[in-house]
Amino acid sequence: MSPTGWPMMVTAIFLAVAGPVGTYLLWNRVRGPQPVRAVSRLAMIGVSQVMAILLFGVVVNNYYGLYASWDDLLGETGPPGVIIHGNSVAAGTPAPGSELPPGPGGDAQGGRGAVVPLVPRVRPPGPAQKFDKYGEDSLVTSFTGPKSGLGGQNDVMVWLPPQYNDPAYANTDFPVVMLFPGYPGSPQTWFGNMAGQKELAKLVQQKASTPFVLAAVNISPIKGVNTDCTDIPNGAQVATYIAEDVRTMLQRTFRVTTDRTGWGMMGYSEGGLCAGKLLVQYPQYFGAAVQMSADVRPGGYVSKYGLDFANRNSTLWMLKNHKPNPPVALLAAASAEDAGGSVLTDALSLHDAAPELVDVLKKDYGSHNTEVWKQWLPQAYGWLSAHLDPVKPQS
């Protein structure tokens, strides 16, 4: 029996009802000394509570599609999958432990190739943002965007690769990957359960990824409102907050590139939708993105503003009708077990709409959960390293 579907739901309902009914019927029939009767009754209460928790878990799993099988629940989701490029499995995609082509200084820096000439970096005007230490390896700030007026407490978190403070990189600008959580979620998840910074540090040490600066951002600064990272008419300007306010603040505060070809995004679930759609809406700011287990169209909150508005905030519609200029690169990662295959179907539809811009990371097993997304990280960072600029010398 699968952990999803009606058979499991009916079984869970039956057990949730049978637990308290059985407790009621057997309560006064328990025999033996007082301690034995007390333990037996406590055990019956405990079983009833476990059955209620089981029912709650089944309801939540059915609603969100978190685990498609018992193996999925136990973290056994099979291999991470393969990247499809131009209707064929991509060759040369960096994998864990593989080395990228040498970049500046002879180290494996990743990116799209040659050493870039010394160029002055023009820092956006304005003061640097104050960040505080968070945990053992991250920084955090409470930032309100000047254009959007949005922001909140600890809404932006940053991880700096070890190379950032290495004297050998003192004149180097670093590429950036903005990280988006799901909804509801927080940027802390990327540096907590997802351990995105630890995976990147390991890959950089293996010379399998560029040493990106990671910036995790809250995609729902209006609590309780899921805008799909959209500028709402006469409402919350969430796209502006992320793509303009936060991006500019990071450029003022850290030694990062200001070129669009050094800026990428990555997100899972709702954050994946944000990464894909902001990429096609703001190609002047971003060069590449990875979306994991993501929709290709916005949800109900955006749709209530009309079909045309929803279309212009749909990654799929934009790729079909308004190809981003300058061109961008998108990796759509999806599992065949997620939402009965519809998420993979959507990912393939992005590829069909713009095969020259979209690759698909196709996985056969695993559903909508953290273990699947973590499994994709090595390929995602490797793919971003191949599609974003390497670290650049700075004059």
Confidence check: pLDDT of 64 > 60:
no
Higher-pLDDT residue of 76 and 302 is: 302
**CB-based burial of residue 325 (10 Å sphere; 0-12 exposed, 13-18 middle, 19+ buried)?**
exposed
Check if the beta carbon of residue 221 is closer than 8 Å to that of residue 235.
Answer: no
Q: Which range is least confidently modeled, 46-60, 224-238, 267-281, 356-370?
A: 46-60
Average pLDDT along the chain = 85
pLDDT range class, residue 114, cuts 50, 70, 90: very low
For residues 168-185, give the mean pLDDT.
Answer: 93
Q: Which range is least confidently modeled, 75-79, 140-144, 146-150, 335-339?
A: 75-79
For residues 333-352, give the mean pLDDT.
Answer: 93
Coarse DSSP helix, strand, coil percentages of the chain, rounded to the nearest 5 percent: 40, 20, 40
How would you classify residue 252: left for phi > 0, otherwise alpha for psi between -120 and 50, otherwise beta? Answer: alpha
pLDDT range class, residue 115, cuts 50, 70, 90: very low
Confidence check: pLDDT of 94 > 60:
no
Closest CA to 359 of 319, 317, 310, 312: 319
Strands (E), the chain: 82-85, 88-89, 132-134, 138-144, 151-159, 172-173, 176-180, 213-217, 263-268, 288-292, 329-335, 358-363, 392-393
For residues 377-391, give the mean pLDDT.
Answer: 95
Confidence check: pLDDT of 116 > 50:
no
Higher-pLDDT residue of 93 and 311 is: 311
41: which strand partners?
Answer: none
pLDDT digits (tens, 9 = 90+) for 262-317: 999 999 999 999 999 999 999 999 999 999 999 999 988 999 999 999 999 999 99
Distance CA 15, CA 31 (A): 24
Confidence check: pLDDT of 6 > 90:
no
